[in-house]
A and B are shown apart, each in its own frame.
Chain A
Amino acid sequence: MKVLQRLLPRRLDRQVMLFVSLLLSLVMPFFALYEADESAERVVNSTMLQALALAENISVTSVEHIVTQDFASTEQLLLRSARFPGVQQVQVSDIDGRVIGDVFVGQAGEPVLRYQAQMIDVPSEAYPDLKQSAGLLTVWQPIVGANAVGWVRLDYSLAEAESIASQYLYDYMVDGLIMTVMLVALILLVMRRPLRVLRDAATFAGQLKNKHGEKIPIDKRSVEIEQLGMALNETSENLFEQDAVIKQALKALNTQKSAMDEHSIISITDVDGYITYANQKFVDATGFSRDELLGKKHDIVKSGFHSREFFAGMWATISMGNVWHGEILNRSKHGDEVWVNTTIVPFMDESGVPYEYVAIRTDVTNQKWVEQELAEKARSLVQMTDHLEDLVRLRTSELEQANIQLQHLNKVKSEFVSVVSHELRTPLTSIKSFSEILHDDLEELDINSQKHFLSIINDESERLGRLINDLLDLQKMDSGKMDWNDERVDMVVLLSASAELFSKAYADKGLELKLGLVDAESWVMVDVDRIKQLITNLLSNALKFTESGSATVAIVNSACEVEVSVTDTGLGIPEQEIANVFENFHQVNSSETREIGGSGLGLAICKDIVEHYSGRIWVESELARGSRFVFTLPLLENNVERSGGGCDRSSK
């Protein structure tokens, strides 16, 4: 079959030509043959008829001859008959087959008598018979008069008939051929145009891919061709339009791709993960060349940061045909670590199976770094905020404390003012009362009463005066407005002098005043008046609060300070009040002390003076046993204050 196909021409018109030619070539000969055959047969038939007719003629004519035995006439007859075209030989015989006359036609065509007496085989039945063999027709015609008397045998040549037949055949063949050719030509002629249109359409269709938008002329001769033309033209138009669309789309796609290539790192892998495409950014980002990347897996940029489960999850997602988003840490060829925000899109065929994966990435190393920094900062901010909150809380409570203290101080201050005014008014009350009494009742009062009242006025005035002085001193010291005239002075000398002043008062009360001076000299830089005030207060207290026994003054030098103590054997101070004795107006209240009085400011003043020089003052006391008041002052050496060396000044 294939051999046949290869032999056939491809062009339709040639196919048609071939087909028609073949068809007609096959048909025509048969037709010609058939016709020729028919004609030949007719010719033969007519020849036969002629032969029969001639034979019959001879037979009829011969009857008489035979009967009359006129053999010469028979011969003449035969001679005449033999001149008939086609006759080859003619014989007349009697009923038994004895030849009466025999003529054959020689090569020149002349009939010639033959005198061969012979017997011929005659048919058995007296009917005409026809035999045909090898181009010779043999007619047996009985000669019948009253009855069968003889035979005529006519050998008629069919050569003529046959030649006519073959002539016919030849003619018919030629005619057939001519007809075939004419038919083919006619068919081709008729089909030429449609075939050409078809061929044009086929050519056009073949060239369509290059000739979008062109049209072929529409041939309306046949519906099919018209449809074909219109379809082709429409297709051409569509293709043309599609071209434009595709161009646009391609352009847009290209723009997108360029844009993406500008922005993103892009790589494409096959289903197994081997890289089939890497854009420039990918090359740049990884540090590998394109050749180094293609055909490899993304392992090439693995950083080792992510777990196997991470990548397994990713492959699971994309191999199912889903888009995967994530951030990956990669390592470049040179070892740089790069964070990329990655989207992997599987591209799938019609059956939904992925055939390649497109990965689009952006370098977010900076952002990651910033993120981490931000997270750090946020953490430390939170810490700071917490810390801040703590601090705020702390500060708030501190402020509350301070506020409470302030309020307390305010309260203390207003109490102080209240107390001060009370303390000032008290002596004033006596002064005012007795002044008025003396004034109104002077004449009524006896001299003792007068003196007594005046003495009260005097005492209370002095009391008031002392109080005012103490208050002013305290106020000046507290507000820093006190003039401190510091000078180098030996405490030993100072103490001795002050003690001397009190010796009489002590003696009058029956008390001993002792000086226990351990060190010979204690040089300090102080205001003499203030130190005198300090010592006086202490000695005065000791005197006031001691009924019997003694008061001892002692000086001890240490590394950087001098320690002075006044010890009495007096009433002592209750334990709970020891802390408060140095407060303003504090007066120990008991039955014994109530009458002793005092401004209550003496120790407060002592404290201020001592603390002005960064010294310390304190008391050790036991009720009914006595009290020991101690203060320290910085020691001088060679006009320079000693510093350091075993002297703790921080207790203040």
Chain B
Amino acid sequence: MTGAQNKIVLICEDEANIRESIRYVVNKAGFESVMAVDGIEAYDKARTVHPDLILLDVGMPGMTGFDVCDRLRADADFKAVKIVVLTAYGQIADQERAAEVGADRFMVKPFSPRDLKQLLCEMLV
């Protein structure tokens, strides 16, 4: 679906099933979804697609989600884009790191699709 209303969400996740579940939620929420399966692809697609929100899994091959976020935020163009970091690692250190690299939100796996949907609507309205 295209339209002025349609926000783009870039989904960066290496696990196929999890990626599928997230895409389901994003689409169900009425947003457009773009996929990336590793850190490098995530970075490239972010710059080419200019999404409104990026869902970044931390544990990706190539570049971790933190690195991607860090690099994107270094770019003036991407200072405003919403970034949510997603991870199965839930330590305080990870949260702090997320804040350091400039992520807007931090989500721990496993997550509730309801919660994800609510978060997306909140951030993209």
Interface residues of A (CB under 8 A from B): 418, 421-422, 425-426, 428-434, 436-437, 440-441, 456, 459-460, 589, 594-595
Contacts and interface: CB of A to CB of B under 8 A. Distances in A.
Contact of A433 (B14, B18, B88): B18
B110 interface: yes
A562 B115 CA distance: 57
Interface in B84-125: 88-91, 109-114
A490 to B, nearest CB: 42
Given A429-B111, A436-B112, 17 more contacts: A418-B89, A418-B91, A425-B88, A425-B109, A426-B15, A426-B88, A429-B18, A429-B110, A431-B110, A432-B110, A433-B22, A436-B114, A437-B21, A437-B24, A440-B114, A456-B20, A595-B16
Given A421-B89, A589-B61, A594-B61, A430 B21 contact: yes
Contact of A460 (B17, B25, B59): B17
What band does the interface of chain B fall in when counting residues whose beta carbon is under 8 Å from A? 20 to 34
B24 A429 contact: no
Nearest to A463: B17
A436 B109 contact: no
Tell which of A418, A430, A434 has the most Cβ of chain B within 10 Å.
Answer: A430
Given A430-B17, A460-B17, A425 B113 contact: no
A437 B89 CA distance: 23
Contact of A430 (B15, B28, B90, B114): B15
Interface string B56-89: 0001010000000000000000000000000011
A471 to B, nearest CB: 15
A434 B22 CA distance: 10
B110 A425 contact: yes
Contacts of B61: 589, 594
B113 A433 contact: yes
Nearest to A424: B88
Contacts of B114: 436, 440
Contacts of A429: 15, 18, 21, 88, 109-111
A422 B14 contact: no
A423 B72 CA distance: 28
A464 to B, nearest CB: 11
Contacts of A433: 18, 21-22, 25, 110-113
A374 to B, nearest CB: 61
Contacts of A595: 16
Contacts of B112: 432-433, 436
A440 B89 CA distance: 27
A426 B109 contact: yes
Contacts of A431: 110
A578 B16 CA distance: 27
